[in-house]
Amino acid sequence: MQKTIFITGGAGFIGSHVIRLMANKYPDSRVVNLDALTYAGNLENLKDVESLPNYVFEKADILDTKRLSALFEQYQPDAVIHLAAESHVDRSILSPLDFVYTNIIGTVNLLHAAKDCWKENYEGKLFHHVSTDEVFGALGTTGFFTEETKYDPHSPYSASKASSDHFVRAYADTYGLPVIITNCSNNYGPNQFPEKLIPLFINNIIHKKPLPVYGDGLYTRDWLYVKDHAEAIDLVFHRGKLNETYAIGGFNEWKNIELVKLLCKLMDEKLNNKPGTSEALITFVKDRPGHDRRYAIDASKINEELGWKPSVTFEEGLSQTIDWYFDNKEWLQHVTSGAYQQYYEEQYKG
């Protein structure tokens, strides 16, 4: 093997797409998936990758420093792509400390393990930190986030990701660790845990349950198909400039209520429902505290420097996503049994 790449959080939503892409595209690289398999991690996401000779799974918690040291010692990785995180804003409002531990302390543990392993011999090494546009806070009706936007996080999730980004830069400035940070907008696509807007609403429409739209439904997000994010990570990882940041977005802003109506229309068509059947499930519920009004990314830098742009339209991506959930009802059933029900009741109680 020419290279060993640690990918953390590879059993999660975005991580599993990054693993699939890297393990297939670079057969001479060994791809090691480090994942604690929390509620969001699921090895079923990687069934088609398991048998590849260059793929290895290691169940590992990034809070376990001894285990991290042992894994760095054993594999001597050339690079880390760090995706492991607590990732859901609503859960961060219910349990902020979990986000402090995994997203901040876990990231510092990983940075430190890489630094100790690489012993200042940084030639050919890279720590690629995968982060979010939510670190920049909220936009008004105009303007875009860029790589230069000042950090202004509002939720415990975004505050923990902002902090992790700062630690990544601190390790670069203090110890010379070669790093790259990518800040991406909202992802959607196959394998997303049905706590996030799109898969939650697909699952609820399948089960004819209410679609809980927070507040006035006029909050705006910039949506990117997960496979396009994985492609962007691959490009930046291989060709991005060291110690720089890349903002990644879909050039695809939607107000939540408009998105939900489009989703309802596509679902009705695919389910042979009478038009309007799914829309009738829309229920406005109490708002999320600290809810950021609008996110939108100006992804010019990655577009101009690396030639990246999204490959699918939103309608195509949504349609493929819905088809995936229809074709993977067992997956959906597994992840929504047990603890999911408790979370749902707590989050959506009146």
Rounded to an integer, what distance in angstroms lies between the CA atom of residue 285 and that of residue 97?
26
Contact track, ligand TYD, 208-237, x by CB under 6 A: ----xxx----x-x----------------
Q: How far is the CB of 79 from ligand NAD (least distance, A)?
A: 16
Residue 184: name its binding partner from ligand TYD, ligand NAD, none (Cβ under 5 to 8 Å by kind). Answer: ligand NAD
Report the DSSP pairing between strands 282-285 and 211-214.
parallel
Q: Which range binds ligand NAD by CB under 6 A, 6-14, 72-80, 278-286, 333-341?
A: 6-14
Q: Is 204 in the site for ligand TYD (CB under 6 A)?
A: no
Of 78, 134, 165, 231, the catalytic one is: 134
What separation in angstroms does the CA of 161 have from each of 196, 225, 242? 17, 21, 20
Task: Tell me which DSSP letter residue 240 carries.
Answer: S
Beta-bridge partner residues of 182: 130, 246
What separation in angstroms does the CA of 23 have from each of 56, 150, 289, 307? 10, 35, 40, 22
Contact track, ligand NAD, 111-130, x by CB under 6 A: -------------------x
Rounded to an integer, what distance in angstroms lies between the CA atom of residue 268 and that of residue 278?
6
Among the listed residues 197, 230, 236, 266, the single contact to ligand TYD using CB under 6 A: 197
Among the listed residues 127, 136, 144, 193, the single contact to ligand NAD using CB under 6 A: 193
Residue 213: name its binding partner from ligand NAD, ligand TYD, none (Cβ under 5 to 8 Å by kind). Answer: ligand TYD
Q: How far is the CB of 343 from ligand NAD (least distance, A)?
A: 13
Residue with tokens 């297939």: 24
Q: Is 335 in the site for ligand TYD (CB under 6 A)?
A: no
Task: Tell me which DSSP letter residue 150 carries.
Answer: P
Report the DSSP pairing between strands 253-255 and 220-225.
antiparallel
Contact track, ligand TYD, 1-40, x by CB under 6 A: ----------------------------------------
Is 157 annotated in the active site?
yes
Smaller CB separation from ligand TYD, 200 or 232: 200
Rounded to an integer, what distance in angstroms lies between the CA atom of residue 96 and that of residue 325?
30
* 267 closest CA partner among 203, 348, 190, 180: 203
How many binding residues for ligand NAD (CB under 6 A)?
Answer: 30
Is 346 annotated in the active site?
no
Q: Which residues contact 227 (CB under 8 A, 6 or more apart)?
A: 17, 21, 189, 311, 312
Is 315 annotated in the active site?
no
Q: Is 205 in the site for ligand TYD (CB under 6 A)?
A: no
Site for ligand TYD in 109-168 (CB under 6 A): none
Rounded to an integer, what distance in angstroms lies between the CA atom of residue 192 and that of residue 41?
10
Phi and psi (nearest 5°) for 299?
-95, 30
Q: Is 153 in the site for ligand NAD (CB under 6 A)?
A: no
Q: Is 61 in the site for ligand NAD (CB under 6 A)?
A: yes
Among the listed residues 187, 220, 256, 278, the single contact to ligand NAD using CB under 6 A: 187
Rounded to an integer, what distance in angstroms lies between the CA atom of residue 156 and that of residue 100?
8
Q: How far is the CB of 268 from ligand NAD (least distance, A)?
A: 25
Q: DSSP readout, 264-295?
A: HHHHHHHHTPPTTTTGGGEEEEPPPTT---B-
Among the listed residues 166, 196, 209, 265, the single contact to ligand TYD using CB under 6 A: 196
- Binding residues (CB under 6 A) for ligand NAD: these are 8-9, 11-15, 35-38, 40-41, 61-63, 83-85, 87, 102, 106, 130-132, 161, 184, 186-187, 193
- Binding residues (CB under 6 A) for ligand TYD: these are 89, 186, 196-197, 200, 212-214, 219, 221, 256, 288
